[in-house]
Amino acid sequence: MKPSLFARIAFYLLFVLSSTRADEAIAFRPGQIWNDTSGKPINAHGGGILFRDGIYYWYGEFKEGRTYLAKVNKSWGGTRVIAGGVSCYSSTNLYDWKNEGLVLPSVADDPDHDLACENVIERPKVIYNAKTKKFVMWLHQDSPDYSAAHSGVAVSDSPTGPFKYLGSFRPNAGVWPINVTAKDQNHDANNILARDFQGGQMARDMTLFVDDDGKAYQFYASEENPTMHVSLLTDDYLQPAGKYTRILIGRSTEAPAVFKRNGKYYLIASGCSGWDPNPARTAVADNIFGPWTELGNPCRGTNADLTFFCQSTYVLPVTGQTNQFIAMFDRWNKWDLQDSRYVWLPLEFDTDGKPMVPWRDQWSLPASK
DSSP 15-44: HHHHHHHHHHHH-B-TTS--B-TTSSBP--
CA angle 351, 352, 354 (to 5 degrees): 100
| Least gap, CB of 292 to ligand GAL (angstroms) | 19
- The answer to whether 229 and 241 have CB atoms below 8 angstroms apart is no
In the region spanning residues 289 to 328, those forming contacts with ligand GAL, defined by CB under 6 A, are 311
Q: Which of 152, 174, 173 is nearest to 163 (CA)?
A: 152
Question: Considering only 2-10, 128-136, 272-280, 285-293, which stretch makes contact with ligand GAL by CB under 6 A?
Answer: 272-280
Quick one: which of 275, 308, 342, 344 contacts ligand GAL (CB under 6 A)?
275
Question: Considering only 178-186, 228-236, 271-279, 345-353, which stretch makes contact with ligand GAL by CB under 6 A?
Answer: 271-279
Which of 83, 295 has the CB closer to ligand GAL?
A: 83
Which of 274, 358 has the CB closer to ligand GAL?
A: 274
Question: Considering only 101-109, 158-166, 268-276, 277-285, which stretch makes contact with ligand GAL by CB under 6 A?
Answer: 268-276
- Exposure string of 164-196, with b = 16+ CB inside 10 Å and e = fewer, is ebeebbbbbeebebeebeeebeeeeeeebbbbb
- Exposure string of 284-300, with b = 16+ CB inside 10 Å and e = fewer, is bbeebbbebeebebbbe
In the region spanning residues 201 to 230, those forming contacts with ligand GAL, defined by CB under 6 A, are 205
How far apart, in Å, do the first and last CA atoms of the chain sit? Answer: 49
Residue 45 interacts with ligand GAL (CB under 6 A)? no
Q: Which of 214, 90, 215 is nearest to 158 (CA)?
A: 90
Quick one: which of 121, 203, 233, 255 contacts ligand GAL (CB under 6 A)?
255
| Least gap, CB of 345 to ligand GAL (angstroms) | 18
In the region spanning residues 5 to 34, those forming contacts with ligand GAL, defined by CB under 6 A, are none
- The answer to whether 61 and 83 have CB atoms below 8 angstroms apart is yes
Residue 274 interacts with ligand GAL (CB under 6 A)? yes
| Least gap, CB of 21 to ligand GAL (angstroms) | 35
| Least gap, CB of 98 to ligand GAL (angstroms) | 25
Burial class, 125, CB count within 10 angstroms (exposed 0-12 / middle 13-18 / buried 19+): buried
Residue 122 interacts with ligand GAL (CB under 6 A)? yes
Task: Tell me how crowded residue 148 is: count the other CB atoms within 10 A of its CB.
Answer: 18
Q: What is the dihedral of CA 86, 87, 92, 94, to 10 degrees?
A: -90
| Least gap, CB of 252 to ligand GAL (angstroms) | 9
Residue 342 interacts with ligand GAL (CB under 6 A)? no
Total of residues contacting ligand GAL (CB under 6 A): 12
| Secondary structure element (H or E) that encloses residue 5, with its range | helix 5-26
Residue 76 interacts with ligand GAL (CB under 6 A)? yes
Q: Which residues bind ligand GAL (CB under 6 A)?
A: 46, 76-77, 122-123, 205, 254-255, 272, 274-275, 311
